[in-house]
């Protein structure tokens, strides 16, 4: 076993909860903070008054940090998310609030989640203590279909989601719910879809979304979405015929490369792609064979998490496997770009 | 930052605090959960793992716990001391030989020395020999270091050693146990000026409140440098000795923070691959009275000129100083050379009495970072009213074993770092 430190284990995982106004975020958070399993979880919310926790309040450790009877720490955003997360960590470090093992952040209203992801990924001070676990997006079964057709941010929230919670399924026809699910999968093939009624959800359903350790295992394959992909092969997927309309150019692409990359070649190709088409590169994640070593990469538009070198390959498959969610970039163009840059780059 | 009525969550001793560490098991050791600073792991011929634990005080001598399954530790043996005025405190196991230290409450008593046991059948330890260190000025042995199967390095008194000050009774002794039936002294060194008849003048003592003695505590020798002994000499500081010629031991370097600090250097842990030393103090007074007791990072590129470059970030004083009992540094996991020991040049694990067990990443030696901790809630019936984690051992599976000084027994933990 390694005698050093795992670059991911030990960082406090942060889950972002996004969703359009009316999708049910406040209802979900208000129920969530009272759940008995929320002991040792800190929740960052926009407005403490909205969720009505007065009866569950045990103590205020400062004007914007409250402790609930179940052990949940509720914290309102003071200036920005960065400062709030730092304050939470410092309060804990000083022993003023209890220990917490994870953070759930309610993002604001319209919210393109990309800037929040950028905050978490690019702030190296925060990165020393926290890691982005993943994005959970709420879509309501009644209004979601219209939003997907008319609001690019809604599509982006779906594209960036690791898990999609379809709400208000009790108010929509089963056919409409199925069609909405098809539309979600047409944008983001790997999103795990679950139903939520009246905000009734177990905290466990909001966690364990991202890569939690550089030690390879079954969890690594789950993170890479390989279980879903078994036998799917390479290519592009388009929406089913009954799905609501959405921007038909958005879709999930899977690419495999048998030849190993040098890190220089891979990162140069990725950089070129994001320079040319950053806004249309909604998301990328995958495992890259860098001179034989497995390196996990993930990014949103032009923002990339620090690459993680795994301690070993998680399976016998040593090929580079990348999943992109793009707007109007064909798989073949991306493949050609990586191959061309690989051919030009100096050998490793 | 404006804040009002800030409750110090961590200050409540009944609360268990945890960051990146999970409790796998807790064993109260049949009600004798007060443990010293001897923890060592035996891998038996049959493939079992036995964790040997020295008790802090009488009536128990040492306890063996089968931790093959760390979630289900089983106590397999617990031995008795001959009387209430002796304690074992320290032990080490190599192969099937267990060395146990004996220290009496006052000089002149027995048994004061070291026992060697055959633990090839761990359920029934068999005494091989007793190495007697008793004498009119000796309390016997406080700590042993036994990692190569041939030599015990110890902090001990001796019948022929009359200290000028009774606090300075234990010095560094090397005992050859290559024939375990007949241990013999092979070398010794003491702080010049502490023995009656020394040419050197007596050392300048700390003020009475902090005067804990010029005597040896941990006496560590690693296979990477068989010619060096790394010694915590309590108020005398940290010493590195050249022991290539055991009949002529020489000082290579000495580093001491006291005065102005409050004495009691306990452990000098070298990180050989990085030319660094980690030096830990021991807190010996309750309620923060001897604060700060720290872990220090020393640049040892030039071993003759050790340079302190920082201290490990300590648990917050305001939350812990009054939590009950002692608060501050004590034992580190010492990168023991045996097959069952975790070894790391960057991850350092230590115990801090009421601030629990803490894990540090020293990758950047100028900015050591705390990455995990576990602070058990106060054990029932503990006279300190709070946990007092005393010692720690980490096995090569990265399982952390830590013990309470008074009542809590053994805590088995997993690190997520």
Q: Rounded mean pLDDT of A131-142? A: 94
Token pair, residue A66, equals: 């409250």
Q: Which residues of B9-44 are buried (b: 16+ CB within 10 A; e: fewer)?
A: bbbbbebebbbbbeebbbbebeebbbbbbbbbbbbb
Q: How high is the pLDDT of residue A110?
A: 63
Residue A239: its pLDDT value, please?
43
Tell me if B356 sits within 8 A of B374, measured CB to CB: yes
Spell out a b/e string for A240-274, using b for 16 or more CB atoms within 10 Å of the CB, else e: eeebbebeeebbbbbbebeebbebebbbbbbeebb
Would you say residue A242 has pLDDT above 60? no
- What pLDDT shows up at residue B98? 98
CA distance B361 to chain A (A): 7
Q: What are the structure tokens assigned to B281, written together?
A: 């103090």
For A48, the token pair is 């403490």
Q: What integer pLDDT is reported at residue B206 of this predicted model?
A: 98
Reading the block at residue A226, the tokens are: 């390989």
- pLDDT band per the 50, 70, 90 thresholds, residue B4: very low
pLDDT at A347: 76
The model's pTM:
0.90
Mean confidence (pLDDT) of chain B: 96
Inter-chain contact B417–A5, Cβ cutoff 8 Å?
A: yes
Please state the rounded mean pLDDT for residues B326-348: 97
Determine the pLDDT at residue A102: 95
With CB atoms and an 8 Å threshold, state whether A60 touches B18: no
DSSP B82-120: SSTTEE---EEEETTEEEEEEEESSTT-SS-EEEEEE-S
d(C-alpha B86, C-alpha B109), whole Å: 9
Give the pLDDT confidence score for residue A245 in this predicted structure. 66
Tokens at A233, concatenated: 């092969």
Read off the pLDDT band of A65 (50, 70, 90).
confident
Per-residue pLDDT tens over the stretch B89-131: 999 999 999 999 999 999 999 999 999 999 999 999 999 999 9
* pLDDT at residue A341, rounded to an integer: 94
Q: Which residues of B touch A62 (CB under 8 A)?
A: 1-4, 6
Q: Which two tokens stand for residue A166?
A: 């379809």
Count of CA atoms in the C-beta half-sphere (13 A) of A301: 13
Question: Which CATH fold topology does B36-198+207-335 show?
Answer: Methylamine Dehydrogenase; Chain H (2.130.10)
Of B250, B254, B249, B244, the closest CA to residue B277 belongs to: B254
pLDDT at A233: 54
For residue A197, is pLDDT > 70?
A: yes
How close A315 comes to chain B (CA, Å)? 23
How far, in Å, CA of A138 to CA of A75, rounded? 21
User: So what's the pLDDT on residue A123?
Assistant: 87
Give mean pLDDT, residues A93-109. 88
In the predicted model, what is the mean pLDDT of residues B166-182? 98
pLDDT at residue B6 in the model: 47
Q: Mean pLDDT, to the nearest integer, of A67-92?
A: 89
Domains (range + CATH), chain A: 12-206 (3.40.50.300), 218-344 (3.30.1220.10)
What's the mean per-residue pLDDT of chain A? 88
Q: Which of A48-57, B58-67, B354-363 has the lowest mean pLDDT?
A: A48-57
Q: From the CA of B359, how many Å to the nearest CA of chain A?
A: 11
Radius of gyration of chain B (CA): 20
Residues of A in contact with B18 (CB under 8 A): 99
B-contacting residues of A 128-187, CB under 8 Å?
Answer: 128
State the residue for tokens 């998680």: A314
Residue A83 touches chain B, beta carbons under 8 Å = no
Grade residue A345 by pLDDT with cuts at 50, 70 and 90. confident
Share of chain A above pLDDT 70, in %: 93
Average pLDDT, integer, range A227-240? 51
Residue A21's pLDDT is 84
CA dihedral A197, A201, A206, A208 (to 10 degrees): -130
B369 Cβ contact list (under 8 Å, min separation 6)? A128, B313, B360, B361
**Within an 8 Å CB–CB cutoff, is residue A124 touching chain B?**
no
| CB of B145 closer than 8 Å to CB of B155 | no
Q: A61 and chain B: CB distance < 8 Å anywhere?
A: yes
- Asked if B345 and A3 come within 8 Å (Cβ–Cβ), the reply is yes
User: Does A94 contact chain B (CB < 8 Å)?
Assistant: yes
| Residue B1 pLDDT | 39
């Amino acid at each position: 076993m390694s005698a050093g430190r795992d670059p991911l284990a030990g960082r406090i995982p942060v889950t972002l909860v996004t969703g359009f106004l009316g999708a049910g975020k406040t209802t979900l958070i208000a129920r969530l903070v009272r759940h008995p399993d929320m002991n040792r979880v800190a929740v960052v919310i926009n407005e403490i008054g909205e969720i009505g926790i007065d009866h569950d309040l045990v103590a205020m450790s400062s004007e914007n940090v409250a402790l609930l009877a179940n052990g949940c720490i509720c914290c309102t955003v003071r200036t920005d998310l960065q400062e709030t997360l730092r304050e939470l960590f410092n309060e804990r470090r000083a022993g003023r609030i209890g220990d917490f093992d994870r953070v759930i952040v309610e993002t604001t209203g319209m919210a393109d989640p990309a800037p929040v992801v950028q905050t978490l990924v690019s702030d190296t001070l925060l990165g020393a203590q926290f890691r982005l676990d993943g994005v959970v997006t709420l879509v309501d079964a009644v209004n979601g279909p219209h939003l997907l057709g008319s609001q690019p941010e809604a599509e982006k929230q779906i594209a960036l989601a690791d898990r999609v919670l379809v709400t208000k399924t009790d108010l929509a026809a089963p056919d409409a719910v199925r069609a909405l699910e098809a539309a979600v999968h047409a944008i983001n093939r790997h999103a795990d879809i679950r139903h939520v009624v009246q905000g009734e959800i177990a905290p466990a359903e909001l966690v364990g979304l991202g890569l939690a350790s550089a030690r390879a295992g079954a969890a690594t394959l789950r993170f890479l979405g390989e279980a879903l992909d078994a036998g799917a092969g390479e290519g592009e997927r388009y929406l089913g015929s009954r799905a609501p309309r959405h921007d038909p150019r958005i879709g999930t692409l899977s690419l495999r490369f048998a030849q190993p990359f040098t890190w220089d070649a891979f990162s140069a190709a990725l950089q070129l792609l994001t320079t040319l088409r950053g806004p249309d590169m909604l998301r990328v994640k995958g495992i890259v064979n860098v001179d034989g070593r497995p390196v996990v990469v993930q990014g949103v538009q032009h923002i990339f998490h620090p690459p993680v070198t795994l301690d070993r390959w998680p399976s016998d498959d040593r090929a580079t496997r990348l999943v992109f969610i793009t707007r109007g970039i064909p798989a073949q163009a991306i493949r050609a770009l990586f191959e061309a840059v690989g051919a030009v780059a100096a050998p490793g | 930052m404006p804040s009002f009525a800030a409750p110090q969550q961590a200050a409540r001793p009944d609360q268990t605090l945890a960051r990146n560490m999970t409790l796998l098991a807790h064993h109260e050791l049949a009600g004798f959960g007060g443990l010293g600073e001897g923890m060592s792991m035996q891998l038996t011929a049959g493939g079992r793992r036995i964790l040997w634990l020295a008790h802090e005080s009488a009536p128990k001598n040492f306890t063996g716990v089968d931790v093959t399954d760390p979630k289900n530790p089983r106590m397999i043996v617990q031995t008795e001391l001959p009387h209430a005025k002796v304690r074992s405190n320290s032990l080490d196991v190599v192969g099937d030989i267990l060395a146990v230290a004996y220290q009496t409450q006052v000089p002149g008593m027995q048994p004061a020395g070291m026992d060697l046991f055959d633990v090839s059948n761990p359920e029934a330890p068999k005494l091989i020999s007793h190495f007697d260190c008793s004498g009119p000025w000796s309390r016997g042995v406080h700590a042993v270091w036994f990692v190569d199967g041939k030599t015990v390095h110890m902090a001990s008194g001796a019948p022929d050693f009359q200290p000028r000050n009774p606090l300075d009774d234990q010095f560094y002794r090397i005992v050859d146990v290559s024939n375990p039936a007949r241990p013999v002294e092979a070398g010794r060194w003491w702080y010049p000026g502490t023995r009656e008849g020394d040419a050197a003048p007596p050392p300048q003592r700390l003020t009475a409140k902090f005067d804990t003695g010029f005597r040896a505590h941990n006496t560590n020798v690693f296979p990477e440098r068989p010619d060096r002994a790394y010694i915590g000499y309590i108020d005398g500081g940290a010493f590195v000795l050249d022991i290539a010629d055991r009949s002529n031991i020489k000082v290579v370097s000495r580093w001491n923070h006291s005065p102005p600090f409050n004495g009691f250097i306990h452990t000098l842990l070298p990180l050989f691959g990085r030319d660094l030393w980690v030096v830990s103090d021991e807190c010996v007074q309750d309620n923060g009275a001897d604060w700060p007791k720290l872990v220090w990072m020393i640049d040892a590129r030039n071993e003759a000129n050790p340079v302190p470059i920082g201290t490990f970030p300590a648990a917050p004083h305001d939350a812990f100083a009054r939590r009950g009992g002692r608060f501050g540094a004590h034992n580190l996991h010492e990168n023991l050379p045996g097959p069952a020991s975790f070894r790391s040049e960057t991850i350092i694990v230590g115990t801090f009495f009421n601030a629990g067990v803490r894990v540090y990443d020293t990758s950047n030696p100028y900015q050591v970072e705390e990455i995990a901790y576990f602070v058990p809630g106060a054990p029932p019936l503990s006279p300190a009213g709070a946990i007092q984690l005393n010692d720690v051992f980490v096995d090569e599976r990265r399982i952390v074993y830590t013990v309470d000084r008074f009542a809590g027994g053994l805590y088995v933990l997993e690190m997520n770092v």
